A and B are shown apart, each in its own frame.
Chain A
Amino acid sequence: MYAVELDRVTKSFEANTPVVNHVSVKVEPGEFFVLVGPSGCGKSTLLRMIAGLESISNGSIYIDHQQANFLPPSKRNLSMVFQNYALYPHLSVEDNITFGLDVQKIKKYERKKRCSETADLLGLTDYLKRKPRHLSGGQRQRVALARAIASQTPICLMDEPLSNLDAKLRAYMRSEIRKLQRKLQMTMIYVTHDQIEAMTMGDRMMVINEGEIQQIGNPIDVYNAPSNTFVAHFIGSPPMNITPGLVQDQHIVIGNQLQIPIHMFKEDIQKQTSVLMGIRPEFISHQNVQEIGAQSLMVTIDHVEILGTETLLSFEWNETTWHAKWYGQWNVKVGDQVPVYFDHTAWCVFDQNTKSLLQGPSKKNDQQMKVGTV
């Protein structure tokens, strides 16, 4: 198990426009580390720099505590799975899996053994003689995985490996890849733009935007207390609701209707005049009309999606489109007037100018969502 450490890594293709800017992070041995961000944020470039396919403009990369800036890809002890799988179309599945072993001049007996082992592990045994073009998308994806695993490297890099699969297969492969990584104890660096993959697969995740680190942490912490409004928007589906709020003597007032007692927040927030207030959709709930108070209001529903276990509602208020997530199947129609309650302990407060988090939700999550101790 190898650690991968990045120290102020910078990449710029053109002068003065860095694609990756001063990224420092340490990926622990055996960790499943997810790089997540929107398209064009530099996450793939970062991964390719770790692989050695792209040169580093500035900074250092350490693999197993050795500086690796100028090591060729093959000397970095890693394998990589590409988004389009990069299978050799003229070779059979077996030859594809053993390609790397053949390059390294590993004995034929050993090659056969490793090939049949990995094929067994991934359920490819029946397809070993086929060409990639005779396989389905999911099978090709598994061949690409098998090729990475057969090389038995301590580090595995994956560049959006699931993005070409349909939703159902993607969900299945998510858990498969996670299980494999645990079983083989590889250090995994996984690039994705899909926040569900980031949330469900990673031990830790790093959110990147425009080449800069936004936040590093374990997925639940990132979800609960996003370090800025970008992360709040990017992680979570539907995203966190963010709206301006005014600080008045005893309350933070949102849209002249909601009033949140100021004493719940830190002193430096009390000194501000205006802030950005964020709340996750699941903390906006239904309320009885009689109980409407300072934490609730009547809204007109714009859009309803019933997903079976939960109902997603959206409405316009305070110049913001709001999303609410209610557990269960609610019979709400578009245009209905509905009273909603905003859990005052669930608000995140962001700075108006820097957009960074001033204070996370005061409520502990295990009180709200039944999580944690089994």
Chain B
Amino acid sequence: MKPEVEMKLQNKTSAPKWQFIYWRRAILYLWPSILLFSVFLFYPLLKTFYLSFFLTDQQGMANVFVGLENYQYIIQSESFHKSIRATLIFVLLTVPTSVIISLFLALIANEKLKGIGFFRTLFASTMGISVAASAVVWLFIFHPSMGLFNQLINTLGGSEIEWLLDPQWALLSISITTIWMNIGFTFLILLGGLQNIDEHLYESARINGAGYFYQLRRITLPMLSPTLFFVITVSLINAFQTFGQVDILTQGGPSESTNLIVYSIYREAFVNYQFGTASAQSIFLFLCILIVTILQFRFGERKVHYQ
């Protein structure tokens, strides 16, 4: 037998053993993240899924198996319907607005002007402020008598608005706060995307005589589409998971008008001690975000141009 053939045969017989060694080595590299993900993601996910089929006691221990009753309960619950509606309105208010405002800011901050670095820092600065801190700042701005907004309205001669106490305005107020907080991150990512576009493309267009808006429509936006897609996906997921600003500004009130879904889950679990229904709501939210993201990748990505 020739040595080559021999080797091949040997390899063939020992293949499973080698595969096992490779697999073990791969696990060795992966285990830190597997460990972290298990503790903070996989275990809570499974536990939530498990709890959603049970009634629980005050410690959150599973007591009575109720099957799909928790799901039936939340689907029929008026308060949960309100929560979903508020969340959807909130998402529609915040995501497009913050992306459009950030895009505008990124476009003007991308111009080569003196001192533009100052404005870039300024526009991105909300990224460095914690949700709690900025919510407190906005609490003051929305204050009925001393707040900046009402004082402005007063000087202009309008009638004051109960920003956080009026069910008509509360969700909008939360949205304004959220848009302001989103802008930092979205702006920074979009600016990065803009700066990645080859300057020569614009020079070539200028020689052809393309105006600013023609360049924006036919060069900037298509070239920015992967960044836009990323930013929209992340903002959507974030908007569905909003919690901090609601907790500080309104606690879900007035009359549940700002009871966004994550806040509703929190209340169900840690105020009402209904861990079963809270888990069911969590699973519902998880599925919602999953579906939205899948849809987005299916339909949104077609319009995205990757280099």
Number of A-B contacts (CB under 8 A): 62
List, in ascending order, chain B residues with CB within 8 A of A84's CB: 198, 200
Q: Which of A52, A74, A86, A151 contacts B200 (CB 8 A)?
A: A86
Cα A75 to Cα B200 with chains together (Å): 18
Q: A81-118 vs B: 1/0 string, CB under 8 Å?
A: 01010101111000000011001100000000000000
Q: Does B24 contact A (CB under 8 A)?
A: no
Q: Does B201 contact A (CB under 8 A)?
A: yes
In the complex, which residues 197-218 of chain B have their Cβ closer than 8 Å to any Cβ of chain A? 198, 200-201, 203-210, 214, 218
Q: Does A80 contact B (CB under 8 A)?
A: yes
> In the complex, what's the smallest C-beta–C-beta distance from B69 to chain A, in angstroms?
52
Q: With contacts A89-B305, A90-B305 known, is A79 near B207, CB below 8 A?
A: yes
By the criterion CB–CB under 8 Å, are B219 and A82 in contact? no
| CB nearest to B204 among chain A residues | A86
Cα A36 to Cα B105 with chains together (Å): 42
List, in ascending order, chain B residues with CB within 8 A of A119's CB: none
> In the complex, what's the smallest C-beta–C-beta distance from A115 to chain B, in angstroms?
14
Chain B contact surface mostly: helix
Number of B interface residues, CB 8 Å? 19
Cα A100 to Cα B205 with chains together (Å): 7
By the criterion CB–CB under 8 Å, are B214 and A82 in contact? no
Cα A75 to Cα B307 with chains together (Å): 31
> In the complex, what's the smallest C-beta–C-beta distance from A4 to chain B, in angstroms?
15
Q: Which of A80, A88, A89, A90 contacts B207 (CB 8 A)?
A: A80
By the criterion CB–CB under 8 Å, are A86 and B203 in contact? yes
Q: Which among B214, B305, B307 has the highest number of chain A CB atoms within 10 Å?
A: B305
Cα A332 to Cα B201 with chains together (Å): 52
Q: Which of B201, B206, B222 contacts A53 (CB 8 A)?
A: B206
List, in ascending order, chain B residues with CB within 8 A of A86's CB: 198, 200-201, 203-204
By the criterion CB–CB under 8 Å, are B223 and A51 in contact? no
By the criterion CB–CB under 8 Å, are B223 and A90 in contact? yes
| CB nearest to A157 among chain B residues | B207
Q: Identify 26 residue pairs between A and B in the complex whose beta-carbon atoms are under 8 Å apart, listed by A's number.
A: A51-B207, A52-B207, A53-B206, A72-B206, A73-B203, A73-B206, A73-B207, A74-B207, A79-B207, A80-B203, A80-B207, A82-B203, A82-B204, A84-B198, A84-B200, A88-B218, A90-B222, A90-B223, A90-B225, A90-B305, A99-B205, A100-B207, A100-B208, A103-B208, A103-B210, A103-B214
Binding site for A on B (CB under 8 A): 198, 200-201, 203-210, 214, 218-219, 222-223, 225, 305, 307
**CB-CB nearest 10 A-B residue pairs:** A74-B209, A100-B208, A86-B200, A90-B305, A90-B222, A86-B204, A73-B207, A103-B210, A103-B208, A82-B200
Known: A74-B207, A86-B200, A88-B218. 4 other contacts (CB 8 A): A53-B206, A73-B203, A74-B209, A80-B204
